[in-house]
Structure 1
Amino acid sequence: MRIIPVLDLKGGEVVRAEKGRRDLYRPIVTPLSQSPDAVSVAQGLRSLHDFRTFYIADLDAIEGRDPNRAALARLKAMPDAPELWIDAAFADAGTLAAALADAAIWPVLGSESQADADLLRRFRDHPRLILSLDFFAEGYHGPASLFDQPQYWPQQVIVMTLARVGAGAGPDFARLRDIKAMAGDRSVVAAGGVRDEADIRALVAHGIDGALVATSLHDGTLTPTQLAALAQR
């Protein structure tokens, strides 16, 4: 199981996500960092475990504002720099191609930001492209053609269940099971609702390859000992 910490960026700071209701997101308060500064929070997370990958949701870019370029540059410059899976509302070929040209970035193509499946079809064979299938409380957000044609999916697919983020409700196992069946031999990563070690082990039993996690790391539910054991599976 690959456990990937989440950094939601807004206004240059890490914010705490709550059920996908982005208007309610506020700067994070965590025992792992004295401030919501992105690098400070990332370093705090690395005090729990030697995380090699971070998922970044650039909420300003996703909501149509200027992206968090300075914070992202500082994360890229960290010692022993991690892979950065970045959702920055990539929606045109030039911006996506530029991100793919940077070896430190694994661009996440969020379904909510797509008008159609053209970008996915064009870039799907790139080994660092990641698809995020985005589900809000009311259901899937994105083009039906992107969801209904798994033959065009890249090798890594995130199932983003935003209504469960920060809700303590557990992963949506039924949805994950269905999408895993559609994905075939692709890697499927769960996002939203992971509460504890039991949830992680249940995801493994469902054939899920990774999990995006935030709250259970900051509140200490997932301990360094558990993280080390889970990473060995």
Structure 2
Amino acid sequence: MQVIPVLDLLDGHAVRAVRGERSRYRPIQSSLCATSEPLDVARALLAATGSTTLYIADLGAILERGAHVAALAALSGTLGSSVTIWLDAGFTDFASMKALFESIADVARSSDCAAFVPVFGTETLRDPRAIASAQAAGFEPVLSLDYRHGRSLGLLSHDDSGWWPSRVIVMSLDRVGAFDGPDLGLFAAVLSLAQGRSLIGAGGIRHSHDLQLAARSGASAWLVASAIHDLAICR
């Protein structure tokens, strides 16, 4: 099972998530590096995990306070084409995704940039046709099924898997940064609907034993942040 490191962006800093309660997020204090500067944190996360995929949640965009266009362009240009960035920026539809991607590309203007993969989270997504539109435009979108305390978030049905893409995240927001362990019951329930799709878990990983349990659950990958920063899991 792959570990995908997570970088949460808010007010120009990499921040530490706390149960998905974004008012409590503060600039990261990490054992990996001495700064909350996004590029330094991104490099440290990738080095610590050996991953070539970085998940970024642009909380400024999700909270409708403005996307981190310049920071995302800098990350893409500096990390380079060997890295893929999965970006959740609170997309409501395909048009909002396309507009942000074009804005980032205009600022980056580099031939050796990290590729962006759009993550459509049900917390904000309003038009499920965005998935098909992104696929038709040459992207490989990821769907994030967002939950809090086991309850689905957003207006779209989580029980009809017909519109799901090939990769789906099971996002337990209340487990993020909570040190409560992964919600494997929820993951199993979604897996029963997945019909062979690749499922990625998110939230709750505390240590290597949790990773072992997550791997046995059928997850192809798990999104992790706090346990990496706290050196609770090793490469």
Query: TM-score, normalization: structure 2?
Result: 0.88
CA deviation digits over 1:176-228, x for unaligned, max 9? 011111112111000000111111111121111100001110111112xxx2x
Please tell me the root mean square deviation across aligned C-alpha atoms, in Å: 1.9
CA deviation digits over 1:39-93, x for unaligned, max 9? 0001122332322011100001001111011111111012444110000011132
Alignment match, 1:30: 30
For residue 192 of structure 2, the aligned residue among 170, 176, 181 is 181
Equivalent residues of 1:100, 1:129 under 8 A apart: no
Alignment of 1:162-177 (within 5 A): 162-177=173-188
Alignment match, 1:2: 2
Report the CA distance between 1:149 and its aligned residue: 1.7
Give, in whole Å, the separation in 2 of the partners of 1:89 and 1:205: 31
Report the CA distance between 1:116 and its aligned residue: 4.3
Q: Determine if the alignment matches structure 1 residue 69 to structure 2 residue 69.
A: yes
Give, in whole Å, the separation in 2 of the partners of 1:115 and 1:98: 16
Contiguous gaps of at least 5 residues in structure 2: 106-113
SS at match of 2:5: strand
Give, in whole Å, the separation in 2 of the partners of 1:99 and 1:83: 17
1:95 is aligned with what amino acid? S
Give, in whole Å, the separation in 2 of the partners of 1:138 and 1:200: 20
Equivalent residues of 2:4, 2:51 under 8 A apart: yes
Check 1:100–1:80 CA distance in 2 against 1; reply closer, same or farther (3 A cut).
Answer: closer
Alignment match, 2:210: 199
Alignment of 1:107-118 (within 5 A): 107-118=118-129
1:12 is aligned with what amino acid? G
Give, in whole Å, the separation in 2 of the partners of 1:144 and 1:47: 37
Alignment match, 1:40: 40
For residue 221 of structure 1, the aligned residue among 223, 229, 232 is 232
1:132 is aligned with what amino acid? S
CA deviation digits over 1:132-169, x for unaligned, max 9? 01112372111243x12201100110011010111111
Alignment of 1:27-106 (within 5 A): 27-81=27-81, 82-98=83-99, 104-106=115-117
Alignment match, 2:111: none
How many residue pairs match? The answer is 223
